[in-house]
Structure 1
Amino acid sequence: MLYLKNVSYHPPATATPILRSITLEFAPQQLGLIIGPSGSGKSTLLEILAGLAECTAGEIYWRDQELTSLHLQQLGGLVFQFPERHFCGNSILEELRLGHPGLRMDQITEALTEVGLEQLPLATAPQSLSGGQQRRLALAVQLIRQPHLLLLDEPTAGLDWSMRRQLVTLLAKLKQHWSLLVVTHETGDLLEIADRCWTLNHGQLLEADPQQLAADRQPLLIP
């Protein structure tokens, strides 16, 4: 169980806080969806949960253990909005092995199978993959690390309808074994697989009913 207690983020360079007293409880093997417009603090919240930034107030727990940024880096795996911009390997195999020199082939096969890329040659260049395949590879890179929590920033951004549907189906499968926290500026097809939903506006988080959001489509949240 992930707990956030009154988490705020107010860097000195900003006149107002980016995040304001965020409180959240999130159970394992669920998909949580945080919906908010651009600039609402969604990506900042993920960066804090991934240990890439430190909150300026509040506490974060996994079960009964309070987490530092180092703990959070080990707990979570962050998939950026456009993960292809962060690929460094010249091949799928090289990308998966970055930072894992002792990685076994069975671990590589397992991760690629989990995201539906097991049929691709390992020598394939990540930049030659389709947009949907690149998102899947980015997920495989994080699954190799065996995180407790997968953090996804706008996972369907820039994908066509077919690729979005495939990715939503994949995320529904992944939540059977992993906890997923997804941030997005639009509800789209993700609502149908969400177990918990929140809206984030001006740094303030409120829980919402997924079924009600699906009915309303919350047009005010889309910039």
Structure 2
Amino acid sequence: MNPSVTVRGLTKRYGRTVVLDGLDLDFGRGVTGLLGPNGAGKTTLLRGLATTLAFDRGRVRALGLDPADREQRTRLRRRLGYLPQDPGFYPHFTLVELVDYMAILKEMTDRRARHREVRRVLEEVGLSDRATTKVRKLSGGMKRRLALAQALIGEPDLLILDEPTAGLDPGQRLRFRALISRLGESRTVLLSTHQTEDVAALCERVIVLSQGRAVFQGSPGQLAGAAAGQVWICQDPPEGSALFWRAADGRYRTVGPRPRGGTPADPTIEDGYLLLLGEPARAAA
């Protein structure tokens, strides 16, 4: 892999709390999924890669540029798109006004070309019919799609997405997957999510963070394979199991040592993730 982004020894503290602890990782063109429990450092990492936050120590190279250097940081910002976890909006703007304003901030000075780009990104996220609607009148899912539209302005080479499918209904999520899979064919996409099904559907690679470190980097199949031989189906609740749930067919699925009466089941990404992280993931589940 020829990485588009390389991170070495990345560290970030908030007071006495270490959020990123000597993080090392690489990812390149295509869609990379970022998983981890709450507090693992995912949002801090994405904010730093999007140049909205400075790291305490370590080195980052993104698209061959060093965001610690002021001139290179400006050049990098022209080539990246960022969807934050909690995007802010001007509620009295219309959608077309807001996206046009964001395009101006991205230094698109040709008015005609800029307006074409605004129409294009609104069409990409299925909001063309809402172009003249005030932002304050949008549902939560529509606001999420609007945030994605502004991230797509200028067809960025590096796209950083923090929980992009939060608030989307199943149909919108499928449309999002189709869009992101297409974008990943020609650029670098880093996608942070709690939805393991999005990772399974979209991502060629997956990174798992825990306590500020990358504890796994590989393919979704490799992550699922980490649970091979440790996933079981039982007719009754498994005694002594730390993690099990009742499936829709009335049987019980458990991850870990084989319970009494357990029969093997095919592992999923979620199974591998739960076993990889152990107690933190089980507490979150």
For Structure 1 versus Structure 2, the TM-score category normalised by the shorter chain is: 0.7 to 0.9
User: d(CA) in 2 for partners of 1:130 and 1:110?
Assistant: 21
User: d(CA) in 1 for partners of 2:203 and 2:117?
Assistant: 28
Question: Which residue pairs with 1:112 in the alignment?
Answer: 122
Question: Which residue pairs with 1:138 in the alignment?
Answer: 147
Is the contact between residue 168 and residue 190 of structure 1 (CA under 8 Å) also seen in structure 2?
A: no
Is the contact between residue 18 and residue 40 of structure 1 (CA under 8 Å) also seen in structure 2?
A: yes
Question: Which residue pairs with 2:200 in the alignment?
Answer: 191
Is the contact between residue 51 and residue 69 of structure 1 (CA under 8 Å) also seen in structure 2?
A: no
Question: Which residue pairs with 1:53 in the alignment?
Answer: 53
In structure 2, give the amino acid aligned to 1:81.
Q
1:97 aligned residue (97, 100, 108): 100
Q: After the TM superposition, which of the residue ranges 40-49 and 50-59 deviates more from structure 2? A: 50-59
Question: Which residue pairs with 2:219 in the alignment?
Answer: 209
* CA root-mean-square deviation: 2.4
Question: Which residue pairs with 1:76 in the alignment?
Answer: 80
User: d(CA) in 1 for partners of 2:155 and 2:68?
Assistant: 19
Structure 1, unmatched stretches of 5+, are none
Question: Which residue pairs with 2:89 in the alignment?
Answer: 87
- TM-score calculated relative to the size of structure 1: 0.84
Cα distance, 1:3 vs. partner? 1.3
User: d(CA) in 1 for partners of 2:117 and 2:63?
Assistant: 27
Structure 2 CA distance for partners of 1:143 and 1:63, relative to 1, 3 Å: closer
Is the contact between residue 96 and residue 140 of structure 1 (CA under 8 Å) also seen in structure 2?
A: yes
Is the contact between residue 52 and residue 73 of structure 1 (CA under 8 Å) also seen in structure 2?
A: no
Cα distance, 1:96 vs. partner? 0.9
User: d(CA) in 2 for partners of 1:138 and 1:3?
Assistant: 26
The superposition leaves residues 32-54 of structure 1 with CA deviations (integer Å, 9 ceiling, x where unpaired) of 11100111100000110011111
Count of residues paired in the alignment: 217
User: d(CA) in 1 for partners of 2:121 and 2:11?
Assistant: 35
Question: Which residue pairs with 1:9 in the alignment?
Answer: 12
Structure 2 CA distance for partners of 1:94 and 1:56, relative to 1, 3 Å: same
- TM-score calculated relative to the size of structure 2: 0.68
SS at match of 2:167: coil
User: d(CA) in 1 for partners of 2:101 and 2:204?
Assistant: 33
Question: Which residue pairs with 2:19 in the alignment?
Answer: 18
User: d(CA) in 1 for partners of 2:168 and 2:64?
Assistant: 39
Question: Which residue pairs with 1:182 in the alignment?
Answer: 191
Question: Which residue pairs with 2:233 in the alignment?
Answer: none
Name the % identity: 30
SS at match of 1:199: strand
- Return structure 1 stretches of 4+ with deviation > 4 angstroms: none
In structure 2, give the amino acid aligned to 1:4.
V
The superposition leaves residues 185-222 of structure 1 with CA deviations (integer Å, 9 ceiling, x where unpaired) of 33123322101101001001131431244524124547
The superposition leaves residues 61-110 of structure 1 with CA deviations (integer Å, 9 ceiling, x where unpaired) of 13443332751544432212243xx1115201111122518443212222
